[in-house]
Structure 1
Amino acid sequence: MAGIEFDAMPGAHVEYRAIAFRSSDLALHSRGPGLSTLVVGGATLLSRPERHLWAAHLPRGSDDLPELLGSAAEVLGVQEWADTLPVARAYRRGPIFLAGEAAHGFRPAGDAPDTGIGDAVNLGWKLAAAVNGWAGPALLDSYEAERRPHALMDRELLARALETRRRFGRLSAAGAPQDYLAGFLRGEPALTDDLGLGYSGRYAASPIVWPELGTPPPPHGPEITPSTWPGGRPPAVRLADGSQLFDRLGPQLTLVDLTAGGDGKSLVEAAESSGLPISYLKLDDPAVRASWGRRLVLIRPDQHVAWRDDTVPDNWNTILNTVCGH
């Protein structure tokens, strides 16, 4: 309908089969109720919320099907497709926006919904701002600028994970012993979201995030450094009264003020006089001071940092215009 074309990932063409089945096989459930993903040979099993319900994704023509289903399984449906990990060339055409699987086809890894959730959260608050009259013309355009690069990065991580699973399946089919397979997995790069992508990722080059000079802390490594660097999500902190800091943030913009004298109050009043919906959160909490790094932090509705500083800026209206897309 929008006429937007998709770009496939080079070399990612794989033909898959998806099988929905119900099984009470204790071997599948002995790992605990929290199980979400299980790799068997070259196939991936995903548990579903409904009891004994599973989805299996495996390359078409794989011989793992009997092993996956067992004798007591009830097959509910089978679907086949050719997966190329496509990403839309544009996320917007006029009044039409693409999000989730309409913007990127990342099957068969249905156990990683972060990219789609991030799209919905990012687009949702910007559409609300436009409807409520405080969005500038560049705010809706920033949706593609922020989310499409994340889809491309997430696609690379997913392709790496799928290739590891395929190699594992081939090694297993070739008769590799268990200790060899374990060593192979240990030698592979981490398949988790160790680059801070998806829902919690940093928008490093966003046109609606006020830039900060200097070098940001690395988003990956042996230890991730909590930070309020602009574009990322701030550290989650349990306050001294037992409440969570994120639960104290307002539904729209929020200015978190850690100054001793409440310096941010004047900034909030200036924003309100311009018609912007903004909440003021004055805190005096040691844990927040230790991890947030700045005394004044402006948080967007999607809980990403839009701006931060230690002192009241002289160009506050310019900052607000940038954050709101004017």
Structure 2
Amino acid sequence: MELFRRLGVADKLRAAGVPASEPLDVVWATSGSGSILHRFAYAAPDAAREAARVRNDGTDTLEPAMRVSQIVLEPVLKKLVDANPLVDVRFGWAYEAFEQDAEGVTATIRNGGTGETASIRALYLAGCDGGGSRVRRDAGIDLEGMHAIGEAYMVHFRSTDHQALAKFGIAYHLQTAHGTLIAQNGHDIWTLQTLAPPDSDPDELLRNFMGRSFDYEILVANPWTPHMVVANRLRNGRIFLAGDAAHQVIPTGGYGMNTGIGDAVDLGWKLAAAVKGWGGEALLESYEVERLAIARRNREAAQRHLEVRLAIINLFMEAQAEGDLEGAEASERRLELGRRIAELGNAENESWGIEHGYRYRSPVICPDGPEPALDPMRAAPTTFPGSRLPSLHLADGRPLFDLLGPEFTLIATGQANIGGFEAAAAAAGVPATVVRLDREPVLDLLERPLLLVRPDQHVAWRGVAAPDDWASILATVTGRAGEADRREKAA
């Protein structure tokens, strides 16, 4: 959501999501109509935003989380893209094949309705065409990991039977041994995700989950196969992969779309830099280095979360083996089951280090001393190069992130002298903004008086004083360091 804010569309997306006044609670129960076992309570986005402003310690995000269904989000994004004069949208056309050469890529596309084909010539091609990516296939890129790790079933339905569906109050996820019920819009659209064979009866799945009959209308019901795979490469020449084409993980943690958005932002600004002429080959190479590491880390996190879910299901089975979990006589067993669920925790919804504390390591990042440890549960504020800039509010209430320029930004605090930065950036053709900030206590969290921040809000370089040679720093962070040597070798 911070990245969407940078694009100026966060408010438009929130208007389509679940109201920000609703909490993000996760509830475990014996069944949808049974007894509550444990509630992991999480503040509503509105409350989380205010708490982050008051806390102001760099551990939070400027934008709180947003609950939204993909089928609601995508039309909003499409409308934004349709209205953008710089984007040529061709719905109904599908990618067929590509050919690349030293100067660019030629892609063949086909109209699904008429069969008409057309060619598109471009400098680069980004394959964002999903798990079954034809671009990935044609680029000769393989997937590594575990395929078909289980049999899953989704039931997407409409219901206003809140007496049945909201027995335990407002919750984002209601979870039982029979699956997870997701409240998609806080009113009448719901999704049940469960482990079940492909020939399952969706009506039976709903009844088993709820433990009773209720009124509903099924909108979509289908089996699906979860994978835990990551591409072994994200690039072949002028061809790049992003999103599900590059990685597929189970939804424990919600890392699929979120990782894909991170891919798009990282690849987007680097392609823009290359097209505009100020980004070098090493900058394009860094996309694979940076995003593959994050995709693998997120896959491992999703696997850990799945193992916790399976452990909880085993606890259910053990408790049910001793008898029915409902009724007064089972109260002690329910209490014990709830205690053990609480003990296992809910890292799936609390891994802030995974979600916004991740750090890039690549040739376009300038390291600075010993690297601090990464904690998957906590996004400790740091400006160690490669890290996301901590979100802070200044004394006058302004969010630091809102002061960043559209490309590179040099933050200078207190009396820090920036030396010849502006002249060096102009000479190199690197678009850069300088943000000068008066000294105030909260800025101690930035750790250094000089920070060079990338367009994706990650720190590329930091220092206590301006370097003697800004040109070499800018050459490194834009991927142009050593380009003359490479050209000489190529010649």
Instruction: Give the distance between the partners of 1:283 and 1:313, measured in 2 at CA.
Output: 19
Which one is further off, 114-123 or 180-189? Answer: 180-189
- Structure 1 counterpart SS, 2:293: helix
Partner of 1:268: 422
Instruction: Give the distance between the partners of 1:83 and 1:318, measured in 2 at CA.
Output: 46
State the 1:166 CA deviation. Answer: 2.5
Q: Describe how 1:1-326 pairs up with structure 2 within 5 A.
A: 1=134, 2-3=136-137, 4-9=141-146, 13-26=149-162, 27-29=164-166, 35-49=171-185, 51-61=187-197, 65-68=206-209, 70-109=213-252, 111-112=254-255, 113-176=257-320, 177-188=333-344, 190-194=347-351, 196-203=353-360, 205-216=361-372, 218-220=373-375, 224-260=379-415, 262-264=416-418, 266-326=420-480
State the 1:248 CA deviation. Answer: 0.3
The structure having more radius of gyration, on CA atoms, is 2
Instruction: Give the distance between the partners of 1:256 and 1:116, measured in 2 at CA.
Output: 28
- Structure 2 counterpart SS, 1:251: coil
Gaps of 5+ in 1: none
Which one is further off, 192-201 or 225-234? Answer: 192-201
The one-letter code sitting in structure 1 at the alignment partner of 2:286 is S
State the 1:199 CA deviation. Answer: 4.7
Which one is further off, 108-117 or 121-130? Answer: 108-117
Give the fraction of aligned pairs with identical amino acids, expressed as a percent.
38
Which one is further off, 219-228 or 123-132? Answer: 219-228
Which one is further off, 281-290 or 298-307? Answer: 281-290
User: CA 1:134 to 1:193, structure 2 compared with 1: closer, same or farther past 3 Å?
Assistant: farther
The one-letter code sitting in structure 2 at the alignment partner of 1:125 is W
The one-letter code sitting in structure 2 at the alignment partner of 1:28 is L
Instruction: Give the distance between the partners of 1:222 and 1:127, measured in 2 at CA.
Output: 32
Indicate conservation of the 8 Å contact 2:367/2:384, yes or no.
no
The one-letter code sitting in structure 2 at the alignment partner of 1:106 is V
- Structure 2 counterpart SS, 1:238: coil
State the 1:188 CA deviation. Answer: 2.3
Indicate conservation of the 8 Å contact 1:209/1:230, yes or no.
yes
Indicate conservation of the 8 Å contact 1:57/1:108, yes or no.
no
Indicate conservation of the 8 Å contact 2:274/2:280, yes or no.
yes
Q: TM-score, normalised by structure 1?
A: 0.89
The one-letter code sitting in structure 2 at the alignment partner of 1:8 is G
Which one is further off, 311-320 or 244-253? Answer: 311-320
State the 1:129 CA deviation. Answer: 0.9
The one-letter code sitting in structure 1 at the alignment partner of 2:208 is E
Q: How many residues align?
A: 321
State the 1:136 CA deviation. Answer: 0.5
Q: TM-score, normalised by structure 2?
A: 0.60
State the 1:114 CA deviation. Answer: 2.3
State the 1:292 CA deviation. Answer: 0.5
The one-letter code sitting in structure 2 at the alignment partner of 1:97 is F
Gaps of 5+ in 2: 1-133, 321-332, 481-491
State the 1:110 CA deviation. Answer: 7.6
- Offset from partner CA, 1:165-219 (integer Å, 9 cap, x none): 223234324435322322322332633453622454111x222110112242x33
The one-letter code sitting in structure 1 at the alignment partner of 2:410 is L
Indicate conservation of the 8 Å contact 2:149/2:227, yes or no.
yes
User: CA 1:32 to 1:238, structure 2 compared with 1: closer, same or farther past 3 Å?
Assistant: farther
State the 1:32 CA deviation. Answer: 6.1
State the 1:221 CA deviation. Answer: 7.7
Indicate conservation of the 8 Å contact 2:420/2:470, yes or no.
no
Instruction: Give the distance between the partners of 1:95 and 1:105, measured in 2 at CA.
Output: 23
Indicate conservation of the 8 Å contact 1:231/1:304, yes or no.
yes
Pairwise CA RMSD: 2.5
- Structure 1 counterpart SS, 2:342: helix
